[in-house]
Amino acid sequence: TYLAPNGNIHDFKLMVRRLHEAGIEVILDVVYNHTAEGNHMGPTLSFRGLDNQAYYRLVPDDRRHYFDTTGTGNSLNMAHPYSLQLIMDSLRYWVTECHVDGFRFDLASTLARQFYEVDRLSAFFDLVHQDPIVSQVKLIAEPWDVGEGGYQVGNFPPVWSEWNGQFRDTIRDHWRGEPHTVPELASRLTGSADLYSDETRSPVASINFVTAHDGFTLRDLVSYNEKHNDANGEDGKDGESHNRSWNCGAEGETDDPEVLALRARQQRNLLATLLLSQGVPMLLGGDELGRTQGGNNNAYCQDNEISWFDWDEVDEDLLEFTRRCIGIRREHPVLRRRRWFFGQEIRGNVDIEWYKPDGAAMEDHDWEGAPRTIGLYMDGRGIRSRDTRGRPIIDDSFLLLISAEPDPIDWQLPEMDGAWVVELDTALPAGVADEVRTVTDDIELVPRSTVLLRFRPADEDGADER
């Protein structure tokens, strides 16, 4: 930003100040794992000319070549004090001088390779954890690189959060109709305890996402089976080829009303799953507007209509749906717990329960070969955390119904003394009807849809309002 034409560091500081005044934190995406000098054939711009072996990892028995775990031609030498000092000085500067609230570390596994393997005890982690400034801000890892053993989702130290690549893959697979996804879907909906519940980590360790700046936008994820990167000048060889996408029956742009309706519902399903899951949701800017890149999943090199936002083509229904999902999440702490579910009684109430379409609770044997539908009950009286004044947090209880089945499903609701208020339904363009809808015994889920129900006890006084 501040190195951009006509820009300066004062503009950046002013931006941070204004965002803070609006209640928005600033997370800086930092790329310390490599530089623009490329491989041994690249230009000499800075570090190569200053001290090549201090700043770059070299192949041990062929020190003319770089040891590359980033896919860019070089990797920073995390075993040398000069490189480590450079990174730590930079991090401290952005916090103390510019007041950013945290960092997202690109290809963070490379930063943990003090020697060959990714090491949780590396010097980089030691320096970060003992630093009185850097250790106090938000630290988010992209927990992989392209080197051997680089995929490290779930393996970063306790103070770190991680981009949860398994969340992305599971949610995409489920909604495109892959079989046998329900058991893993259950883990992703509840914060990925299988990845992060060890030691002192909590659900906020999981940065949940469906799309990111690399890859398809949300609209393209439901519109293309294949990448369309011809404009990038690499004969379509660049970009990820296995995108776990589904075009809903037609590749790319179409005027088929059934395909378009399904695509719209699929976008709402993916957004609802992201924003109603435990953990920290990360929404790609533009997904809430229906932004497309025309099937290009590697548009970093396109400074044109392919990558730009088209403010004249905003999907207003999708934007309103996203607002509603965020509003529900913000209002209800049971949807953003800071401690794990235990499946045990808390204050006389079981904090979580899984249900089948017939209204019965899931048993162990039900998980094998389960259909692509599940019901998640979250009891708002079973939150283990307390508020800032030490009082128990009590919230409403919710039943989240998810079905990726191609046919309608009649859900029998759990027998409870009260009624269920429909808070969200992805069958509707904005996610909710004009009038409050309540159900008691059963509800029909249209094919490939999500419904969020809030329990209203029989003795609850007062009418619901939108």
Catalytic positions are 106, 142
What angle do helix axes 165-175 and 182-189 make, rounded to 10 degrees?
130
Instruction: Please give the single-letter amino acid code of residue 189.
Output: L
Sign of the four-CA dihedral 10, 12, 17, 21: positive
Sign of the four-CA dihedral 128, 130, 133, 136: positive
Q: Where are the beta strands (DSSP E) in 87-131?
A: 102-105
Q: Which two tokens stand for residue 351?
A: 């904090």
Decide: 291 and 241 in contact? Cβ < 8 Å.
Answer: no
Decide: 379 and 351 in contact? Cβ < 8 Å.
Answer: yes
Which one, of 401, 268, 276, 380, lies nearest residue 328 by Cα? 276
Residue 59: strand pairing partners: 62
291 CB-near residues (< 8 Å, 6+ apart): 217, 218, 219, 309, 310
Helix, strand, coil fractions of the chain, as percent rounded to 5: 30, 15, 55
The DSSP 8-state label assigned to residue 221 in this structure reads H
Decide: 424 and 432 in contact? Cβ < 8 Å.
Answer: yes
H or E element that contains 438: strand 438-439
Output the CA–CA distances (angstroms, integers) from residue 237 to 72, 152, 233, in the order listed.
16, 26, 9
Other C-beta atoms closer than 10 Å to the C-beta of 149 total 13
Output the CA–CA distances (angstroms, integers) from residue 285 to 90, 169, 208, in the order listed.
26, 19, 14
- Strand-strand pairing, 206-208 and 280-281: parallel
Output the CA–CA distances (angstroms, integers) from residue 288 to 264, 283, 319, 361, in the order listed.
11, 8, 5, 34
Burial track 404-423 (b if 16+ CB lie within 10 A, e otherwise)? bbeeebebebbeeeebbbbb
309 CB-near residues (< 8 Å, 6+ apart): 286, 289, 291
